[in-house]
């Protein structure tokens, strides 16, 4: 099999301006949604309480909202989580409420609504581990089971936010320094602008759809940032090689050639990575859902930005063969040059 049979270089750069305008518009739209709607941060960031419970019957969300709303915790969110039997209840932090008691109270209310009484059950799992857990007993059945409760103090959230920002900044600086050292500052700027534009677009999606932005999503976003920079690196490597091999081409032609000859690798690699991510999206359940979602958007826009944005920015910044092929022909065969042989 061979999918890509390209006879001539595709004139990507001829349309660079159009692509850059599209990019700019998407970017601005993402920023607009980030500003107007903001991110729907998970309680890991905001502080608060989440209680996850599973019902034997399909959970009646409207009724549950009434039940939990009656507890006086303010703006409580009740949503399905995964299947229609699972619900997640998120309670924000509120002054004057003992946060530690919230999971207990919520579960008690849920249990009472099913005409059950809260108790503690000690049981032995099939594997032979003894566990104690709170239970809701209504006769012989358990109409609702507490699956998970999570409580985060407000101080933790601020710190996560700060550390998240530090992590992002250190990724950006680290990658810029590496690319500036390995290639040239113009490429370094082009790559980071292109890939930060991906990150902003991912965040824009999360803001637009109000998807929950959790710690694992942040990890996914940063991982994808490193991954899409790869993309730009592969193309830059090829641009450098083309500059060396074909002296008479214009910068635009060189970039077109570099992109065209790496396009099959770009698409196949992303396709493979996306298959793995898709598998997480399908089988990973609600916990990995938004993580996989962030990766999917990151991968799709990663291709786009590496091919159409990064190279175009490098071109606008005015890369020349002299930037990469330092002392002409001599450098190309210098065995000590760490850049020599950087191809594909």
Partner 1 sequence: MNRYPVWKFVLMALAVLIGLLYTVPNLYGSAPAVQVSAASLTTKVGTDTAAQVEQLLAAAAIKPDYVTFEGTTVHARFATTDTQIHARDVINAGLNGGADKDAPPYSVALNMVPRAPHWMASLHALPMYLGLDLRGGVHFLLQVDLKAALDKKIEALVTDTRTTLREKQLRAAVARDGNSVTMTFHDAATAAQAVNVLTDAFQFVQWTSVADGADVHVTGALKPAELIKAQDQAIKQNMTTLGNRVAGLGTSEPVIQQQGADRIVVELPGIQDTAKARELIGRTATLSIRMVDQTAAASADNPADDVFPNSPDIARRNGPTTIVKKEVIASGDDLADAQPNFDSQSNAAVVKLQMNAKGARSMREVSSQNIGKLMSIVLFEKNKGQVISVATIQSELGENFQISGGFTAEEANELSLLLRSGALAAPMEFIEETAIGPSLGADNIAKGLHSVAWGFVAILVFMCAYYLLFGVISTLSLGVNLLMLVAVLSLIQTTLTLPGIAAIALTLGMAIDANVLVNERIREELRAGSAPQTAIAAGYERAWATILDSNITTLIAGLSLLLFGSGAIRGFAIVHCLGILTSMFSAVFFSRGLVNLWYGRQKKLKSILIGQVWKGGAQPGNVPQPDDLEEDAATPAAGKNPRIAR
* Positions 103 through 132 that interact with partner 1 (CB under 8 A): 103-104, 120, 124-132
Query: What tokens appear for 183 in the block?
Result: 């290639």
**Which of 6, 17, 18, 25 is the binder for partner 1 (CB under 8 A)?**
6
User: Per CB under 8 A, does 344 bind partner 1?
Assistant: yes
Contact 89, 50 (CB under 8 A): yes
User: Per CB under 8 A, does 149 bind partner 1?
Assistant: yes
Contact 79, 210 (CB under 8 A): no
**Which of 146, 202, 312, 319 is the binder for partner 1 (CB under 8 A)?**
146
Residues 165-204 that bind partner 1 (CB under 8 A): 166-168, 170-171, 174-175, 178-179, 182
User: Per CB under 8 A, does 87 bind partner 1?
Assistant: no
Contact 310, 189 (CB under 8 A): no
Minimum distance of partner 1 from residue 35's CB (angstroms): 25
Nearer to partner 1, 207 or 225 (CB): 225
How big is the CA angle at 69 (ends 67 and 70), to the nearest 5 degrees? 70
CB within 8 Å of 338: residues ≥ 6 apart: none
Q: How many CB atoms lie within 10 A of CB 25?
A: 10
Nearer to partner 1, 66 or 133 (CB): 133
User: Per CB under 8 A, does 326 bind partner 1?
Assistant: no
User: Per CB under 8 A, does 153 bind partner 1?
Assistant: yes
What secondary structure does DSSP assign to 182-221, as a single string?
HS-HHHHHHHHHHHHHHHHHHHHHHHHHT-EE-HHHHHHH
Which helix H or strand E contains 317, and what residues bound it? none
User: Per CB under 8 A, does 80 bind partner 1?
Assistant: no
Contact 50, 90 (CB under 8 A): yes
Minimum distance of partner 1 from residue 74's CB (angstroms): 20
**Cα four-point dihedral sign 103, 109, 114, 115:** positive
Minimum distance of partner 1 from residue 271's CB (angstroms): 7
> Which range binds partner 1 by CB under 8 A, 29-37, 98-106, 196-204, 312-320?
98-106
> Which range binds partner 1 by CB under 8 A, 17-25, 60-68, 108-116, 153-161?
153-161
Closest CA relative to residue 106, chosen from 152, 62, 68: 68
Q: Report the alpha-carbon distance of residue 144 to residue 1 in Å, rounded.
A: 53
Closest CA relative to residue 142, chosen from 57, 59, 51: 57
* Locus of tokens 């407000």: 154
Residues 290-319 that bind partner 1 (CB under 8 A): 291-292, 295
Nearer to partner 1, 26 or 269 (CB): 269
How big is the CA angle at 164 (ends 159 and 170), to the nearest 5 degrees? 125
Question: Which phi and psi (to 5°) does residue 41 adopt?
Answer: -70, 145
Nearer to partner 1, 20 or 269 (CB): 269
Nearer to partner 1, 26 or 261 (CB): 261
Nearer to partner 1, 204 or 302 (CB): 302
Residues 207-246 that bind partner 1 (CB under 8 A): 215-216, 218-220, 222-223, 225-227, 229-230, 233-234, 237, 242, 244-246
Beta strands at 212-213 and 40-41: parallel, antiparallel or unpaired: parallel
Minimum distance of partner 1 from residue 330's CB (angstroms): 8
Minimum distance of partner 1 from residue 264's CB (angstroms): 6
Q: Give the per-residue contact string, 243-282, with partner 1 (x = CB under 8 A; - = no).
A: -xxxxxx---xx-xx--xx--xx--xx-xxxxxxxxxx-x
């Amino acid at each position: 099999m061979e999918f890509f049979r390209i006879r001539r270089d595709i004139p990507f750069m001829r349309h660079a301006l159009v692509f850059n305008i599209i990019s700019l518009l998407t970017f601005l739209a993402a920023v607009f949604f980030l500003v107007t709607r903001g991110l729907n941060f998970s309680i890991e960031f905001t502080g608060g309480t989440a209680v996850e419970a599973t019902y034997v019957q399909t959970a009646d969300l409207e009724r549950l909202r009434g039940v939990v709303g009656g507890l006086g915790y303010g703006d409580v969110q009740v949503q399905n989580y995964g299947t229609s039997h699972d619900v997640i209840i998120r309670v924000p932090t509120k002054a004057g409420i003992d946060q530690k008691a919230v999971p207990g109270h919520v579960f008690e209310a849920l249990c009472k609504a099913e005409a059950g009484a809260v108790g503690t059950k000690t049981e032995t799992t099939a594997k032979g581990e003894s566990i104690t857990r709170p239970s809701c007993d209504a006769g012989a059945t358990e109409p609702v089971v507490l699956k998970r409760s999570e409580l985060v103090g407000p101080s933790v959230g601020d710190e996560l936010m700060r550390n998240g920002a530090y992590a992002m900044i250190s990724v950006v600086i680290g990658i810029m320094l590496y690319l500036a050292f390995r290639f040239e500052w113009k490429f370094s700027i082009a790559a980071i602008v292109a890939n930060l534009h991906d990150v902003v677009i991912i965040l824009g999606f999360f803001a637009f759809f109000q998807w929950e932005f959790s710690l694992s999503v942040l990890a996914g976003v940063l991982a994808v940032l490193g991954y899409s920079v790869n993309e730009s690196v592969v193309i830059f490597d090829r641009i450098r090689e083309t500059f060396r091999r074909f002296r008479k081409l214009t910068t635009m032609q060189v970039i077109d050639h570099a992109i065209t000859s790496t396009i099959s690798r770009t698409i196949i690699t992303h396709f493979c990575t996306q298959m793995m991510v898709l598998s997480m999206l399908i089988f990973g359940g609600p916990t990995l859902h938004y993580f996989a979602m962030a990766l999917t958007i990151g991968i799709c826009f990663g291709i786009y930005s590496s091919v159409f944005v990064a190279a175009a920015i490098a071109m606008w910044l005015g890369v020349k063969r002299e930037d990469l092929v330092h002392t002409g022909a001599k450098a190309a065969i210098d065995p000590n040059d760490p850049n020599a042989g950087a191809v594909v």
